[in-house]
Amino acid sequence: MYFDVIAKILAERIGCDVSSIKPESSFQDLGIDSLDTVDLIMELEDEIGKEIELTQKVETVKDLDDFISQLKED
């Protein structure tokens, strides 16, 4: 549901084509560390207008997409 937004932000951050970001892409393989993840979450919150508090480990783009998709609307 949020994959396109996540992929766009990641592609801009790491300087690659958005089409190279796949659901199964791991953040580690993309060179995204914990500090980058914090920045990514803040950018996502701005883009989608939803507060995101990670309460579980997400390792792939799909993991993050699924986590955000299951958040309850405020």
Catalytic residues: 33
What is the distance between the alpha carbons of residues 57 and 60, in angstroms, rounded to a whole number? Answer: 10
Between helices 61-70 and 3-14, what is the axis angle to 10°?
A: 140
Beta pairing partners, 26: 60
